[in-house]
Structure 1
Amino acid sequence: MPSGLVALFDDVAVIARAAAASVDDIAAAAGRAGSKTAGVVIDDAAVTPSYVTGLSPARELPIIWKITKGSLFNKLVILLPGAILLSEFLPWLIIWILMLGGAFLCYEGAEKVLEKLGGAKHGKTLEDEIQDPVEFENQRVSGAVRTDLILSAEIMAITLSELDLPTWWERGIALALVAIAVTIVVYGAVAIIVKLDDIGLSMSKTGSQFKRNFGHALVNSVPKLLIALSFIGTIAMLWVGGGIIVHGTHEVGFHLLYDIAHGAEYWVASVTGALSGVAGWVTYAAISGVIGLILGAIIAFVLHKVFGFEGAH
């Protein structure tokens, strides 16, 4: 009996060491994959503050919390099971789903650009008077969660492509870790951004002269920051959406867009010396954005002029 008990303990110890090694592998894989999503994470953080512009300051954090919960639902309930099932049974379908998401981002970004250039406005915009605050807030949250679904799909797809884990449950845990971490980082940063004016106002009322001056400067800078973030968010949707299309069409056998974008990237990198890395990346991002704008404008034209679709932002 003692020897049997010792053997059982040995077996338990072996299983525990194997489980610990698996946890280490999952954590390491999640960390590597998460770092690859940095660009999309920045895009997500840039897009979201625009959804609380024009609403009551008291509603800003509750709205961000609603969007955060929607983002977690997107990642963990909708995308995570789908990603695991697709990776197991239909891996070839992932790229087509990603391109649909990329096309949607191109459409959203292009529509904003066209409206700024004087085109017809479709749905609610930041300039419209808010007639029903509750309905308008719900529309903003719905729009944010819808856009988040596309960006989250890209994050999950990038993560999945970077994972080299043998079993579906290990990939699932790694995807969940990245999803939770990314959501906390993005919407934590967004919450800070949208409350900077309140922080600055509080600082401007008490403390040293330097603290009060800094608080005033912070309050005055917030409107400009939100305008800049709105601009960055539009560019980000075009860049990310165009990049998905460039990569996706290459994966399915149409290489023209990929060759143009990467050919320009490599040429610029070859002639810019010490700045080659940054210059090449900017070139690729710019061409992806232009492709996204063209594709998005075509989709907007077809939806609004041909089918008469009126969207709601």
Structure 2
Amino acid sequence: MPGGLVALLDDIAAMAKLSAASLDDVAGAAGRAGAKAAGVVIDDTAVTPTYVTGLSPARELPIIWKIAKGSLRNKLLFLLPAALVLSALAPWAITPILMCGGAFLCFEGAEKILAALTGGHHGEESAAITDAKALEDRQVAGAVRTDLILSGEIMAIALGELTGETLLNQAIALALVAVAITAGVYGLVALIVKMDDIGLHLARKPATRTIGRGLVAAMPRVLSALSVIGTAAMLWVGGGIIVHGLEGFGGAAIPHAIHAVAEGAAAPLGAMAGVARWLIGAIGSALMGIVVGGVIVGLLHLLPRPSEGHPAG
């Protein structure tokens, strides 16, 4: 009897160790997958504050909460099952889908650059909506639609890092990535959009007046910097996805050229070689993003717009 109990305890201990190792594997895989999607996360963080610009300050946090719930629903109810089906039935399709998503990011980045250069902007139709609730619903719906694309790219990038895992581990890791990234992105967005209110609160107290005024004065620059960072992240991530994808489709010349330039620039820099290697690679990816995005923008601008159709009658 004691011997059987000892054997049972040994089995339980072995199962506990196996479970712990499995959890460590899942956590490690989720961490790697989340880190790989960091560029898209930066873009998501930079884009979201624009959806509450011009709305009532009292509604900013409720709107962000609505968008966050929509983002989590996108990831867990739609994209996670689709990613698992893709992994099980058509793993070969992951790279082409990633490249399509990368091309979309390049297009978005190139279009933002074009708008900045030409003085064009989007969203004029929002001014025509006078009902506050209708405008809020419209902004939330638009943000959740945009999030679906960015979240799809995040989940696809994460899935690409989980190809060696079991289906169960993939599901757990993707769910962890979805929850962690959503919480991180929208928590940071909430902090950003309320930073001016925090600054005003601090400015009312003599001990923190200077800090508060500094925060209020800095916020326009922070939002402008986020816009630039978001555009750069779109081009860097989108271009990088396409560069890496080309290697699997017989187009290794461009990735090899970027790698050779990065290695050549990094070689004489000693301890800074890793930083230089990464920076040159990121610049090369961003240049690819500008080229791909510019081509797509050019092609789309050549197509007739719906409003340019034949007049009725």
TM-score interval (norm. to shorter) = 0.7 to 0.9
Identify the residue that residue 35 of structure 2 maps to in structure 1.
35
> Which of 257, 260, 266 pairs up with 1:260?
257
- Structure 2 residue 200 is matched with structure 1 residue 204: no
Q: Distance in 2 between matches of 1:16 and 1:288?
A: 44
Identify the residue that residue 75 of structure 1 maps to in structure 2.
75
Residues 144 and 177 of structure 1, relative CA distance in 2, 3 Å threshold = same
> Which of 274, 283, 287 pairs up with 2:284?
287
Residues 168 and 53 of structure 1, relative CA distance in 2, 3 Å threshold = same
Q: CA RMSD in A?
A: 2.9
Structure 2 counterpart of 1:224, one-letter code: R
Structure 2 counterpart of 1:102, one-letter code: G
Q: Distance in 2 between matches of 1:164 and 1:244?
A: 16
- Structure 2 residue 113 is matched with structure 1 residue 116: no
Residues 307 and 281 of structure 1, relative CA distance in 2, 3 Å threshold = farther
Flag structure 1 segments of 5+ consecutive residues without an equivalent: none
- Structure 2 residue 229 is matched with structure 1 residue 232: yes
Q: Distance in 1 between matches of 2:51 and 2:257?
A: 35
Q: Distance in 2 between matches of 1:177 and 1:170?
A: 10
> Which of 196, 201, 216 pairs up with 1:219?
216
Identify the residue that residue 186 of structure 2 maps to in structure 1.
187
Residues 301 and 35 of structure 1, relative CA distance in 2, 3 Å threshold = closer
**Pairs within 5 Å for 1:36-185:** 36-118=36-118, 120-121=120-121, 123-124=122-123, 129=127, 131-132=129-130, 133-163=132-162, 166-185=165-184
SS of the residue 1:117 aligns to? helix
Structure 1 counterpart of 2:240, one-letter code: G
Deviation by residue 1:166-216 (Cα, 9 ceiling, x = unmatched): 42112101111111111111111111011000011111112xx34111111
1:26 deviation in Å?
A: 2.0
Contact kept, 8 Å, 1:50 with 1:229, in 2: the verdict is no
Q: Distance in 2 between matches of 1:108 and 1:235?
A: 11
Q: Distance in 2 between matches of 1:272 and 1:14?
A: 49
- TM-score, length of structure 1 as denominator length: 0.85
Residues 268 and 99 of structure 1, relative CA distance in 2, 3 Å threshold = same
1:32 deviation in Å?
A: 3.6
1:29 deviation in Å?
A: 2.7
- Structure 2 residue 299 is matched with structure 1 residue 305: no
Q: Distance in 2 between matches of 1:53 and 1:75?
A: 25
User: Which segment drifts farther, 10-19 or 168-177?
Assistant: 10-19
User: Which segment drifts farther, 283-292 or 179-188?
Assistant: 283-292
Structure 2 counterpart of 1:55, one-letter code: L
Contact kept, 8 Å, 1:52 with 1:140, in 2: the verdict is yes
Contact kept, 8 Å, 2:45 with 2:186, in 1: the verdict is yes
User: Which segment drifts farther, 29-38 or 275-284?
Assistant: 29-38
1:287 deviation in Å?
A: 2.3
Structure 2 counterpart of 1:58, one-letter code: A
Deviation by residue 1:230-287 (Cα, 9 ceiling, x = unmatched): 1211221122111111112222222233233323222222244433222222222222
Residues 219 and 40 of structure 1, relative CA distance in 2, 3 Å threshold = same
Deviation by residue 1:92-140 (Cα, 9 ceiling, x = unmatched): 101111111111111111111111111654x4169x7464344444443
Residues 55 and 262 of structure 1, relative CA distance in 2, 3 Å threshold = farther
Deviation by residue 1:12-51 (Cα, 9 ceiling, x = unmatched): 6765554444333322332343333333333322232222
Structure 1 counterpart of 2:84, one-letter code: I
1:57 deviation in Å?
A: 1.4
User: Which segment drifts farther, 5-14 or 109-118?
Assistant: 5-14
SS of the residue 2:55 aligns to? coil
Residues 159 and 79 of structure 1, relative CA distance in 2, 3 Å threshold = same
Contact kept, 8 Å, 2:80 with 2:174, in 1: the verdict is yes
Q: Distance in 2 between matches of 1:263 and 1:136?
A: 51
Q: Distance in 2 between matches of 1:213 and 1:78?
A: 47
Sequence identity (%): 55
Q: Distance in 2 between matches of 1:124 and 1:275?
A: 43
Contact kept, 8 Å, 1:98 with 1:153, in 2: the verdict is no
User: Which segment drifts farther, 74-83 or 214-223?
Assistant: 74-83
Structure 2 counterpart of 1:308, one-letter code: R
Flag structure 2 segments of 5+ consecutive residues without an equivalent: 308-313
Contact kept, 8 Å, 1:80 with 1:172, in 2: the verdict is yes
Structure 1 counterpart of 2:48, one-letter code: T
Structure 2 counterpart of 1:155, one-letter code: I
Contact kept, 8 Å, 1:242 with 1:291, in 2: the verdict is yes
User: Which segment drifts farther, 274-283 or 170-179?
Assistant: 274-283
Alignment coverage as a number of residue pairs = 306
